Amino acid sequence: MTPVEPREPVATAPVGVVLEARNVIKRYGHITALDGVDFELRSGEILAVVGDNGAGKSSLIKALTGAIVPDNGDILLDGQPVHFKGPLDARKLGIETVYQDLAVAAALDIASNLFLGRERRRPGFLGNVLRMLDKKGMRAEAERSMAELKFRLPSIGSAVEALSGGQRQGVAVARAALFAKKLAIMDEPTAALGVRETGQVLDLIQAIRQRGLPVVLISHNMPNVFEIADRIHIMRLGKRAAVVSPKTHTMADVVAIMTGAAKFEEPAASASR
Amino acid sequence: MNSASALSFGRMSKIAARFVGTPSVGPLLVLLAFGLIFSLTNPRFLATQNLSIILQQTVIIGTLAIGQTLIILTAGIDLAVGAICVLGTILAGKLANSGYDPIAAMGLAVLACSAAGVAAGSLISGLRLPPFIVTLGILGIITAALRLISAGGAFPVTDEFLGWTGNTVRLNGFIVTYGVIIMLLLYGMVWFLLNQTQWGRHVYAVGNNPEAARLVGIPVGRLLLSVYVLAAFIYGIAAWLALGRIPNADPNALQTANLDSITAVVIGGTSLFGGRGGLIGTLIGALIVGVLRNGLTLAGIDPLWQDLVTGILVIVAVALDQLTRGRR
């Protein structure tokens, strides 16, 4: 495995579409999980994906991260069609995913966790022949990116198990931010966390957007979604029921669309292109 | 007075920590304590000749414990460690005694040991069988096969090359065998792999959280396979060291290798739950086992008591690990 250079700040066109899905269909036997869903992530935004259980939220995310292969439909990254055969394909193209359960190695330190699976080697003979890790370089880089994200942590050399749950998830989120070239997908990143810790992670996600990286946030938690999302993609029955702005719609509106109690009213200014 | 001694004790363990790493301080103190007790009860214990004997007696278990450490770090366990090593001694001995070139014989024996590692690693990583069961099965298969091949009996191995590791050099009046030097070199090389390379990082990551390792793209199955093969390769080298120590191939040898190697690893501070610990601790742990067996022998205590004490030691060490886990 070759070490990956850290992400350069993404040049952001105002309404450039980073990731798009068109008419994606996925069936499991008789069950249609995705029934022609469309999806659009614009550069520099936090797009929340909400929906009731079974609405196709997680199938959509799996299709976007390569965890499942759709039966039909197109996925476009920066306007180019892509075909992911597995999660590694999506990662190679710059899509990083953060999972709900804390995907960290507890006994390893923060810097080791940030670079886990993408360790850097020292230059020259030591790295090429003896395959020695560049521990100092990785530490410095880890410290730099944590400072840039304004995420407060104890010493970068302390074991992840010494951290709080929020700080641990912060490490996983920062890892995605460090390596995602195109976008980061956060799948219920705060579901296992308390209120204060959730706040830390939400701040971190906003810091990532400020650096220019678009984020897809899957969440059940409406207040969290309304706190940080720029737009809200609402799933219902395997389709995109609507995309609304938290500025023009209330939580009650969103829940109504989610459950089918209300139809989406077309002229929502911020949702149209 | 009391606080002053506590202070100096704290400073001492800090100084020790700089040399052996914080987790290995406890085992080091245990080793020093055993050394102190035995040297007080028997003046012969500290004689350079005896210390050199302890090192020589530690060679086989110490080398086997390197492989055992790698496997336990991935949250596995190897119960076939002694059997694979005996496979090496019997094969090398049989081939050399029937006229094969001794270097080729030893090479083939090490290869055969590595093949046992391929078998164990494939079953564990491919079929996801528990390491405990797989290595227990391999232990049974190899033990039975060896007794069939050698018709149950031990035989002498007098070849010069196969016994080469028993040769000695004198360092400042201190006698060490080539085997001791080879063991220490192996410790150095595997320490480097574990602590300075990506492979080592991934061994720890897989032992800590295999799911997280898979999610960040570490090829978990391939890594596990490489660990079992490297461990078995080291057991093959240990077979050469064993022939240097005792020029005899015995299918019934190394019966306590499982207990001793696991004890060395666990009292060396490596967690049976995987992902924590390291080789420096294991070397200290192997020396603790060696010192204990030697000290009890010098005191004229029946060898069966040594197994009993080793058994107690491993249970105490695992209990300590379990208790401290709650606080992490």
Question: What residues does A80 pair with on adjacent strands?
Answer: A77
**Angle between the N-to-C axes of helices B2-20 and B25-41, in degrees from 0 to 180, rounded to the nearest 10:** 110
* Structure tokens belonging to residue A249: 């719609």
**Angle between the N-to-C axes of helices A135-148 and A165-179, in degrees from 0 to 180, rounded to the nearest 10:** 100
Three-state SS for A212?
Answer: coil
* Structure tokens belonging to residue B217: 């793209």
Q: Is the pLDDT of residue A220 over 90?
A: no
Residue in B with minimal Cα distance to A67: B215
Q: Say which CATH topology domain B24-322 has.
A: ABC transporter involved in vitamin B12 uptake, BtuC (1.10.3470)
Q: Which residues of B touch A108 (CB under 8 A)?
A: 201, 204-205, 208
Q: Is the pLDDT of residue B18 over 70?
A: no
Comparing B8-22, B151-165, B198-212, B294-308, which segment has the lowest mean pLDDT? B8-22
| A17-105+163-259 classified as CATH 3.10.580.10 | no
- Whole-angstrom CA distances from A200 to A148, A168, A171, A175, A176 are 15, 11, 11, 15, 16
Of how many residues is chain B composed? 328
Gap between the Cα atoms of A259 and A236, Å rounded: 7
Gap between the Cα atoms of A7 and A181, Å rounded: 5
What's the gap in Å between the CA of A104 and the closest CA on chain B? 6
Gap between the Cα atoms of B318 and B266, Å rounded: 7
HSE toward the beta carbon, residue A31, CA cutoff 13 A: 7
Gap between the Cα atoms of B152 and B146, Å rounded: 8
Measure CA B316 to chain center. 19
Question: How do residues A55-76 score in pLDDT, each as one tens digit?
Answer: 999 899 999 988 889 999 999 9
Comparing A101-115, A215-229, B57-71, which segment has the lowest mean pLDDT? A101-115
Q: Which residues of A touch B202 (CB under 8 A)?
A: 117
What proportion of chain A, given as a percentage, has pLDDT over 90? 51
Q: Name the A residues in 77-106 with CB < 8 Å from any B CB.
A: 87-88, 91, 97, 99, 101-106
Report CB contact under 8 Å: A131, B198.
Answer: yes
Residue in A with minimal Cα distance to B200: A133
Sorting pLDDT into bands at 50, 70 and 90, what band is B78? very high
- Residues 6+ positions from A43 with CB-CB distance below 8 Å: A10, A12, A13, A14, A15, A16, A17, A18, A212, A214
B303-323: average pLDDT: 85
Top residue of B197, B214, B216 to mutate, by most chain A CBs within 10 Å, is: B216
Residue in B with minimal Cα distance to A160: B328
Tell whether A74 lies on the interface with B, counting CB pairs under 8 A.
Answer: no
* Predicted local confidence at residue B232, as pLDDT: 98
Gap between the Cα atoms of B165 and B257, Å rounded: 20
Q: Which residues of A touch B208 (CB under 8 A)?
A: 105-108
Residue in A with minimal Cα distance to B216: A117
B61-85: average pLDDT: 97
What proportion of chain B, given as a percentage, has pLDDT over 70? 91
* Predicted local confidence at residue B22, as pLDDT: 65
Three-state SS for A85?
Answer: coil
* Predicted local confidence at residue B320, as pLDDT: 83
CB-based burial, B165-199: b 16+ in 10 Å, e otherwise? bbeeeeeeeebbbbbbebbbebbeebbebbbbbbb
Mean pLDDT, chain B, rounded, equals 90
Comparing A7-11, A24-28, A129-133, B53-57, which segment has the lowest mean pLDDT? A7-11
- Whole-angstrom CA distances from B44 to A247, B31, B295, B299 are 85, 17, 10, 10
A218-246: average pLDDT: 93
Residue in B with minimal Cα distance to A131: B197
Question: How do residues A144-174 score in pLDDT, each as one tens digit?
Answer: 888 888 888 888 888 998 888 888 888 998 8
Q: Which residues of B touch A130 (CB under 8 A)?
A: 192, 196-197
Tell whether A108 lies on the interface with B, counting CB pairs under 8 A.
Answer: yes
Question: How do residues B281-305 score in pLDDT, each as one tens digit?
Answer: 999 999 999 999 899 888 888 888 8
